[in-house]
Structure 1
Amino acid sequence: MSGPNLTQPISGEIDNDGKLLRADEAFLRLNQRAGGVEGGAIAVPAIAKLAKLSLNLQMKLSRAVRVADNEDHLELWIEVHPTLQFAKVSILSWRALPVLNKRNLILTSMPDSIENQMVFDRHGRLISAKGIAAHGLVPSDFGKNGVEVLTNIFENGVPLANLISALSTGVSIKTMQIKRQSDGRAFDVSGDIIDDERQAVFGFRLRFDPLYEKPLSIVEANYGDVAGNLFGKNLAPVLRQPLGRIIANAETIGGELQGPIRENYALYARDIANAARHLSALVDDLGDLEAVERIDFQTARDTIELGDVARRVAGLLALKAADHRIKINTPADDTNVVAIAEFRRTLQIMLNLVNNAIRYSSDGTAITIETETADKYAIVTVSDQGKGIFGADREKVFQKFERLGRSGDGGSGLGLYISRRLACAMGGDLFVTDSEGGGAKFVLRLPNS
């Protein structure tokens, strides 16, 4: 199929069900050769897949795709702009490649034999990632300049910039060592060029080989396989139902709602209810963990007032704080610190921070929630008067399953890890410093525009 003279893009519109709503003539001919019919489903798998991904993520995507049939092998540069009703697909470039074999119209996949890798197009833009190399990425990173993405995630920004520049000019990189900012994990990184059939540079790939300071725990080593099968949509709802019944029945017995019982039996029932609540919270944490570690995880962009969120959190935890004679100080009602972040996820982070502050503070102390605006960020801080966190442990507390040696307090060691992942997914960050009055001060930073 001879390529059209692209003085302007070739466009089409694909709805949420994959139906081709409208298309320019060249687009229609391409679809017909793939077996599609006018008004039917888009029949070019490469375009259908990209349109579906763009609609699911509700973000603009652009990348090169390759399609072939019995006569031609084409490389197309596709750009997709999603709306709520349909995806607008534009073909910006159209190039015929040598035919290597005969096959039905398909997407030619990028090399994926390497377990942990990032792939960039010939312009240095991130187009895919897999394995542990994908940790820390958010959907909006795809399509961005590779130097910008990598320097936001890893230390050693200048060497990374040099590495990307070298690869984009066709020079392979043997090995360099970098460290991820979020968890301090170190990697050996090597890079190589991805050529097309005409030996032209199609893009390049970075391979990440982790350097473990200590062996992974069984949970860390196998979590990816276990969580995808056990939690999330399938097992979590099944577990919550019986746990909910255990809690309800145990509270009924412990509260003696059906009549008086021996005191030690009432205490047993309350212990059962507390244990079931702990298990239920663990199920929720594992479900959240599975969600935030998916490469396609995304959050909504709500306009929220952080003082309002803080006061809601204080209300939800008021009884727990009162049990320990802890006072929760919140921002005044007339504060107006606006953030652009998902309300539900921001509430989840702040609930975790204040709940931790109650758990690790002494009875009769105070917890203070403050909000402010700084540059392009809205900031909320949660300060307590507990023992604080030593400087050497301030990054460690954000690691998965990290408890700093504590046990028996009902925690899973996932809350802060999940909270930081959520903050990063919303374009912000979460870190800890010293509180002025002693104790720990957690700082949540979110974009305000």
Structure 2
Amino acid sequence: MGIGEQFRQQLAAKALQRQIDRAGRQEDQRKTASLSGAPRSTGGLKPELARFETLPAYQQMLAMQEMRNRLDIESPFFRVHDGQAGDTTVIEGRSYINFASYNYLGSSGAAEVNAAAKAAIDRYGTSASASRMVAGERPVQRELEQALASCYGVDDALALVSGHATNVTVIGYLFGPNDLIVHDALAHNSIVQGAQLSGAKRLSFPHNDWAALDELLSRVRGEYQRVLIAIEGLYSMDGDYPELERFIEIKRRHGAFLMVDEAHSLGVLGATGRGIAEHAGIDSREVDIWMGTMSKTLGGCGGYIAGSQPLIDLLRHFAPGFLYSVGLSPALAAASLASLQRMLAGPERVARLRERGRYFLKQAQAAGLDTGHSAGYAVIPVITGSSLKAAQWSNALFEAGINAQPIFYPAVEEKAARLRFFICSTHTVEQIDATIAVLARLNGRS
């Protein structure tokens, strides 16, 4: 591509980016007005506003599609995969090295996990069919919860049908208008949505900056009844983790609850994969609310909460996302239980995952790639600095037989646009070397 063509693409990208920004600001203003109870227009009936295509978010989506079309960039999203996803995947009949799967320990598709799910289907069918409170429970659901509680060394656990919904319903139910929720600036959308649902005051603190959190609470703690501090065990965008002991000390001193989202840290951190508490050498009971998902290390689908008996009893009887939702499918509960047992019985898989992650990080850095703050535990970004470059690099990798997804603005700041690589214990050194070689060429190195 010549310099003139590159300049044309940059100008087009900037012009379309302004369209996307404008549509995004309109959507933000609409949501802010809705949340604040701002008065609605009284200018008469406007039938066109009863069409979804008039929503600012839809216009933002169209602008993003127009950007891809003008720059002749194929969308890297929603490709159809055939078969199970792990270190490789099959798309339209071609096998790809795959870095877009959370199957960290290879449990999804493992023979013993498949067998457990099949046996549960034969015994219980494919669905729990109703809420566990009204339709009763299946032994495998409670066995999973007891195994999770034992893994964390806490009283009990509760399994729900969705990881995202777990954060939304638990935070939304436990806290209210007289409370404060403070979360890391890079917290997952589900934490933010739960805080908004609760009606509590919501504040964020700079990423992993426990000192800033301490200073914030020193100023405002006295204004609120209850306070929740929400952090993650391993951040899915940046691949770094918090100093857990610092956050525990802060929550004690300020009389707050501490919630840790372990979606990406269970099976990844700690010698046996028990997560950030094991990694940091801290008693799990020092954390008030452990949250995690079963769609990653645990080879199933759903979310869980682990903690004290009063917490779990309260959620079991009153959390809307549990009480009014169908119970976790017995087949998925069986798959996650078998995956948890497999993890605990095979710490060598956790060790191999750690080795592969650190190897990828070291090789990427040696190739001059920007890996941000990643610690090399399963999640490694390669920051490109622009959405355009992230899309181009993703498609170039795809042509070379490597599947890695880009992260665009507005999911991250434009200057932080990136490719994101999820490492599995089943990735080989050869697969990693081949991937780094392509990335090095794209980065202008050979």
| TM-score normalized by the length of structure 2 | 0.23
When the two structures are superposed, what TM-score results if normalisation uses the length of structure 1?
0.23
Instruction: Name the structure, 1 or 2, with higher relative contact order (CA <8 Å, separation 6+).
Output: 2
Structure with higher Rg: it is 1
